[in-house]
Structure 1
Amino acid sequence: MMTKRILSIIWLSCATTVAGAQGTAVTLDACRRAAVERSPLSARQTLVGEKRKAQDRATSSSLLPQLEIQAQGSYQNEVPKLPTDFPLPVTMDLPKDQYRATVELNQVIYAGHSVRNTKRLHAATAEVETASLAVELDRLRDRINRTYIGILLTEKQLEVNRLMRETLESNLRAVTARMEQGMATGAEQASLAARMLELNQERIALSGERAKYITALTELTGMEITERTYFEIPPVPTEGIPDGEAAPFKKRSEMKLYTKQRNLLEAQNRMSNSRSNPQLSLFASGGYGRPGYDLFDRNFAPMAIGGLRFRLPLTSWDATQKEKKINRVAGRDIDQQQRDFERNVSIEAAQYRVQIERLQETIQLDPTLVEARKVVREQAQAQFEQGVITATEYLTEFNNEAAARISAEVNALRLVEAWIAYQAVRGIYN
């Protein structure tokens, strides 16, 4: 409770000061949502569904009656003839130039479940692609997290820099007044002026770093971000840290991807089985040509035939078994990948829990440390103004206070960053 109270005081005071001077407020959740909506990955997820529907329609078309027109003209050097000693008074005089035009109709009755299994394969493939895109979108959210925290850190450092420059400007005015009275030397003024230059250099570097982060955030989200935009600090979750959470990886997108990859292997096995199944179809053919089905007639004649066709592959069994063996090996590889992933996520989550606990303890001491450094700096300032200590000695305490203030602000934001990272490791982005 003490940690939450300290964080609330720090963040509320900063938010009140900054929000009053700046414009539109931006939240981390809004940035993540905007980045996801703007990302081509989201458009690709829609295309995956459209592609699957098109594939299914193409597969279903194989069940429709198939019509085919064929035409052929040929000339051959020999044709069948009856032997001269043939006992019957029959002659066969086939022409060497032959012509044929037909229309053929084929209708599948049973395709060995190949159409159904093909559609299942399309569905499993689409689910794998969608799950893969979801993993990439989580990486985009992680990038937004890092960019947003980078902006907050630079803003806090700039705020501390501004406070310290204001304090040093007051010191410089006091030293200048003392110099006019002959109570201070130019060396003291030069020391303070040099430190002011360093603070200005830090301000320029921090401003450049902030501009870099804002440019990246603008490009990723498409949001209108100006110098007056106020970035809200994400709140730390009210619930405590899960103590040794058994499965911190259960909500990760990668877990769904592993499941979908296994489903795809099962769909491939079913597809392999369907290639070995028997197939049954109706066929009919009609046309006109010379010779027709009557080989003894050399005139053009109509032709028609129809029936039932049965097909049973006898040599595809071995290929099917080899494909299944490949899929079994691929399935074991997926299992190994998942086990390695679960172990790494568990380790990473444990590390973040330790970091959060350490930061919670640290920020409890930060306000006391800052106040102590401020008191010492004020005492040193009074001694410096009285000529008791040198400018170098005063700057030492001045720098100590600046470091303590920066450390306190950074620690508070590091705790927020650690919570965000810990939630992201667990697959939580809200």
Structure 2
Amino acid sequence: MKTFLLYSLLVCTTFLGYSQNTLSLEACYAHLETHYPLAQQRTILDQQEAAERSAIKAKTRPQLNLNAQATYLSDVTQVPIPNTGIAPLNNDQYRATLSANQLIYNGGKIKATTYLQHITTDKKKKAVEVSLYQLKQHVNQLYFAILLSVDQIELLELRRVQLESTLTEVKSGVKNGVLLPTSEKNIETELLRILQQTTEANNNKTKFIAALAALTGTSIHAETQFEKPLVTTTAEGTLNRPEIGLFSLQKQEIEQQKNLLSKTVLPELSGFATGGYGNPGLNMLENDFKTFYMLGLQLNWKVFDWNSNKNKRQALEVSKALVDSEEAVFRLNTNIALNDQKKDIETLENTLLIDQQLIALQKEIVAASNAQLKNGVITTADYTTQLTKLYEAENLFNQHKTQLQLAKANYNVIKGLNN
């Protein structure tokens, strides 16, 4: 009786309120991509790009420079003709200027740099997506481990109910002298084992729920119901993994770097205007404080760079070849993993068919053992042995069924069907 009360308390705390909340595998994926700390980098990268674009755009605006200097010269320019009336310059001279430079043409380098920055940001965001996507298999492991714990708890409860019913019949048989007094002790011992196994299963479930909640960044209550997904797979279609998109962006970045390099050899034209106040002014023979200004155009063109640009382009071609090689390796390894996962799925499907046959046969054996127990032909130990075998067969069936769904879910993740 004490065992029954302990078990009832455990079951009530486990199953109470299960109808309040439900959670699906797809919802876990969505929470992962939204709440996992790494996901916040997308917003940070957008902010970084905005700052970089503003800095690049600033180069198209006038650049202002303020200069001021005071100098003392040991010697100054003098007119070597006597009686000209031109006073020599002061040894102390002063000048303050404000210059404005406006870029007019630079061969499209600013536009190319802006586009390169955009591609680089997209590449970094795609890398974040890759990291998040790779966590989906971890989500699968935890989610299906919870489902397996739930199945085990439910199966143990069914077994407990069956043993409680048998215990009542055994007690009646002992009372009527049909069975030995020790018969009921065997069943009570088995009930304690079930209590122990249920406690362990509940602890495992709690541990898995805590890990899943931490991974997805959400609060998952103990009473949450976890939906059992019916996962389907398909051998058709190509890989849809985010890594493929990352390889593509890496190659786009390299191509844009080459495009930018091609523009660095073009001339750069800018206009400038300078206004100033100083002694002397632009007229070096007038020894007085004067205002002055200058207007003009400036052309910069690096005519020869000792093949620096060419070598950089060759280095980028090598980088692109490395990316192609990495993509080929990724596709090969992914296809190998898909084939392995497909074999696991086929093996589990065949195993489930055998499990069902074993369960059907073991149920017949348990039914016969139950009748034999009532007639005193076998002991309760013999009966509980057969009942344990049925539990093990059913538990194994549930494990294989969950493993099959897990294998299918992993297959879809590996192929990119959940992208």
Normalising by the residue count of structure 1, what TM-score does the alignment of the two structures yield? 0.85
Q: 1:21 to 1:379 in 2, by over 3 A?
A: farther
Q: Which residue of 1 aligns with 2:41?
A: 44
The more displaced of 383-392 and 325-334 is: 383-392
Aligned to 1:255: 244
Match of 2:270 among 281, 286, 294: 281
| Closer/same/farther in 2, CA of residues 380 and 101 from structure 1, 3 Å limit | same
Structure 1 residues 362 and 87: CA distance shift in structure 2, 3 A: same
User: Matched residues in 2 for 1:55 and 1:312: separation?
Assistant: 26
Cα distance in 2 for partners of 1:177, 1:79 equals 129
Specify the alignment match of 2:63 in structure 1.
66
Deviations for 1:224-278, whole angstroms, at most 9, x for unmatched residues? 54344322111232xx742xx5x74x21100000000111112222223333321
Is the counterpart of residue 347 in structure 1 residue 342 in structure 2?
no
Structure 1 stretches of 5 or more lacking a match?
1-17
Indicate the SS of the match to 2:102.
strand
Matches within 5 A, 1:273-422: 273-314=262-303, 316=305, 318-422=307-411
Equivalent residue, structure 2, for 1:28: 25
Partner of 1:268: 257
Structure 1 residue 113 displacement after superposition: 1.8
Structure 1 pair 319–90 and aligned structure 2 pair: CA distance change class (3 A): farther
Residue identity opposite 1:351 in structure 2: D
Distance in 1 between residues matched to 2:227 and 2:46, nearest whole Å = 37
Which residue does the alignment assign to 1:196?
A: 191
Q: For the aligned residues, what is the CA RMSD?
A: 2.7
Question: CA 1:408–1:20 in structure 2 vs 1: closer, same or farther (change >3 Å)?
Answer: farther
- C-alpha displacement of 1:134: 1.4
Q: CA deviation at 1:332?
A: 2.0
Alignment length (residue pairs)? 405
- The percent identity for this pair of structures is 28
Bigger CA drift: 378-387 or 256-265? 378-387
> Partner residue of 1:153?
148
The one-character-per-residue Cα deviations of 1:18-74 (angstroms, maximum 9, x if unpaired) are 999633332222222233222344443233334323322321221112222211112
Question: For the Cα contact (< 8 Å) 1:78–1:96, is it kept in 2?
Answer: yes
Question: Per-residue deviation at 1:150?
Answer: 1.5
CA pair 172-72 structure 1, distance change in 2 beyond 3 A: same
Structure 1 residues 73 and 21, CA gap change in structure 2 (3 angstroms): closer
Secondary structure in 1 matching 2:276: strand
Q: Give the aligned partner of residue 415 of structure 2.
A: 426
- CA separation of 1:185 and 1:101: change in aligned 2, threshold 3 A: same
Deviation track 1:119-141 (CA, whole Å, cap 9, x = no partner) reads 01111101101211211221243
Inter-CA distance 88–179: structure 2 relative to 1 (3 Å threshold): farther
Alpha-carbon separation, structure 1, partners of 2:16 and 2:317: 59
CA contact (8 A) 1:179 1:186 kept: yes
- What is the match of residue 202 of structure 2? 207
- Note the alpha carbon deviations across 1:165-201, whole angstroms, 9 max, x for none: 2222233333333334444445544433333222222
TM-superposed deviation, 1:90: 8.4
Q: Is the Cα contact below 8 Å between 1:36 and 1:140 reproduced in 2? A: no
Structure 2: unaligned runs, 5 residues or longer: 1-14
Distance in 1 (CA, whole Å) between partners of 2:228 and 2:366 is: 30
Give the structure-2-normalised TM-score. Answer: 0.88
Change beyond 3 A, Cα 1:331–1:87: farther
